[in-house]
Chains A and B, each alone.
Chain A
């Protein structure tokens, strides 16, 4: 059992749901929480969170380093990722204002969680 944290506007949002049951759904929830949390946002656990925005637009990181950071966070904080095959891919495309970053997280080659930051 896990709390259902999707909000209006999210894909496949179900307003009647309050918790998610399946392990895949739990894993996706945990990965989303990890990706969209910045470090020091959670009281008592300053290391939790990917800091995606800072990470992607930092001059010191390339694709592989960003992927490594995301993998470390998922590996440490999402125990179900050990049960299912989770892979991460980070790519950049040219945007109009600034570059757009795509983070693709694939679970068991079936489910794709894609995040883009522009």
Chain B
């Protein structure tokens, strides 16, 4: 029987199994294996069976892989699994802002018939900066601007347009409908009416009482949004034939965000009207300004993001832990880094109900054409007051915050550095070309780095060695705090102490209010003199013993100029060759001759790097 054991348990790949089978058949029938081609019916059966076997294994593997959210590849599987984990994949958020408007100076109001101009709710405006449509929102039916009223009206604006779709109820329990709007819709701003009556949105079926006219909305696994109604015990059932109208905001996601710093102008697209129904071009009658540029717009959640965020979903729909805050805010997709934390582990008790949020914007989204890390305005590297206010706003409006919890946004502390790069280069390459390539790769690195503890110079050396024309490279980080300390001959040292207060004291917190202080946080500042050559502590210099950048929890390393080095030389803001700047590239005076051997060496080095990576 041993002759039938032609399959080897160590050769289990389909191609190996079929080779072994053909060898066996060739041996038994005394025929060379080469005769078993696809033209042989016998061989063809074997080959096709092998292919079917491979397909079966593929389907089994696919089914297994798609059941784990970390290994799944199909969007339907990832979104479906995240739904099971309690996460509702974000459908996107419409950008929102604020405008003010009033009668334009010198306008001839006699052209307006009646007492006022009416501007209906959701009147469309269009920004010149991106050409997108926005709606002027109000809780009322319209804005009424009396001719005699010279005050300024404030209104929120929302990017996108309102769309509605209508479906017909079947009258069965747990009716569900999938709505495909084709594009991004706002995750929160959806309303559902049944036979013209507005029903209430719930987060879970179990939140509904039998009499509640409610529904729940989830992101559709195959796209769009799913609407679910109750079963009679939990929420009412829409009766058979009822008209269900779903209204949502269709928007352009992150494209709807506009920069606060630029001069923003917009046009009124829709017209206003008087009490007799006459139409008026609002651009001619109103003077309007943008008080808060549209922001917090976000695209639909990517599958990669869903994989990361789904395990952090709060099952209770309450923002309880720092993780929940990270989960909630990161859905807006505007961060390159977000860290929410509390300080319950330290001895200072007074801020234990505070959730601190440290967030860095994703500056890649703010890059205009022909702009890189070094030419990006520095204020774009951080969130401004309006953006923090918008983030606070969405947290408060969510209604998911715990009453006793307070949120504080931690403003990042920028620590300035410059990067000195020494380059030995091959002859035949222009220094300017190498410099531009170096600036490009370093800029891309700095824009994409999300590491928050250290910035090793070996990373920079690694990417620079791939630049054409570079033979050898060395990188040095120069810290502004160290250079200032060495120039002045001293540095400032801060020591924080927490002291229990006995008895309990009241402390003014502004607005005529006081709060109880149980522990007092005291910061002591002292000046430490240094001589030339004295070491400076790593936390002061922001550099470790290897010369790598180290970042404290709230620090951000910024490569910018505008400060003096130890010799009193000004560091320039814009990268330069052989000059002290945010990015200084110094070339060897003599290039390395480009011989066959140096070329071979460079090629070998690159192939070794690629192979090892």
Give the complex CA separation of A26 and B44 in angstroms.
Answer: 14
**A42/B44 in contact, CB under 8 A:** yes
Q: Does B453 contact A (CB under 8 A)?
A: no
**B39/A33 in contact, CB under 8 A:** yes
**B51/A30 in contact, CB under 8 A:** no
Contact of B47 among A2, A31, A33, A42 (CB under 8 A): A42
Q: Does B31 contact A (CB under 8 A)?
A: yes
Q: Does B50 contact A (CB under 8 A)?
A: yes
Give the complex CA separation of A3 and B37 in angstroms.
Answer: 13
Tell me the residues in window 23-71 of chain A with beta carbons closer than 8 Å to chain B beta carbons.
Answer: 26, 29-31, 33-34, 42-45, 48
Contact of B39 among A43, A44, A78 (CB under 8 A): A78
Q: Does B34 contact A (CB under 8 A)?
A: yes
**A43/B48 in contact, CB under 8 A:** yes
Give the complex CA separation of A80 and B31 in angstroms.
Answer: 11
Tell me the residues in window 113-132 of chain B with beta carbons closer than 8 Å to chain A beta carbons.
Answer: none
Give the complex CA separation of A44 and B44 in angstroms.
Answer: 10
Across the interface, name the chain B residue whose C-beta is closest to A21. Answer: B29
Nearest CB in chain A: distance from B39 CB, A? 4
Interface residues of B, count at CB 8 A: 19
Give the complex CA separation of A76 and B54 in angstroms.
Answer: 25
Q: Does B40 contact A (CB under 8 A)?
A: yes
**B39/A34 in contact, CB under 8 A:** yes
**B48/A77 in contact, CB under 8 A:** no
Across the interface, name the chain B residue whose C-beta is closest to A77. Answer: B39
> Chain A contact residues: over half helix, strand or loop, or mixed?
mixed
Given contacts A1-B29, A43-B52, A80-B35, contact A30 B47 (CB under 8 A): no
Contact of B44 among A1, A31, A33, A80 (CB under 8 A): A33
List B contacts of A77 (CB < 8 A).
37-39
Q: Does B533 contact A (CB under 8 A)?
A: no
Q: Does A5 contact B (CB under 8 A)?
A: yes
**B51/A43 in contact, CB under 8 A:** yes
Contact of A5 among B41, B47, B48 (CB under 8 A): B41
Q: Does B42 contact A (CB under 8 A)?
A: yes
**A45/B47 in contact, CB under 8 A:** yes
**B29/A48 in contact, CB under 8 A:** no
List B contacts of A30 (CB < 8 A).
37, 39-40
List A contacts of B47 (CB < 8 A).
42-45
Give the complex CA separation of A33 and B54 in angstroms.
Answer: 24
**B39/A31 in contact, CB under 8 A:** yes
Give the complex CA separation of A102 and B37 in angstroms.
Answer: 26
**B41/A33 in contact, CB under 8 A:** yes
List B contacts of A5 (CB < 8 A).
41
List A contacts of B50 (CB < 8 A).
44
Give the complex CA separation of A80 and B37 in angstroms.
Answer: 10
Give the complex CA separation of A3 and B29 in angstroms.
Answer: 12
Given contacts A1-B29, A80-B35, contact A29 B41 (CB under 8 A): yes
List A contacts of B51 (CB < 8 A).
43-44
Q: Which residues of B contact A (CB under 8 A)?
A: 29, 31-32, 34-35, 37-42, 44-45, 47-48, 50-52, 54
* Additional pairs, 14, CB under 8 Å, beyond known A2-B42, A34-B39: A1-B29, A2-B40, A3-B41, A30-B37, A31-B39, A33-B38, A44-B51, A44-B54, A45-B47, A48-B38, A76-B37, A77-B37, A79-B32, A79-B35
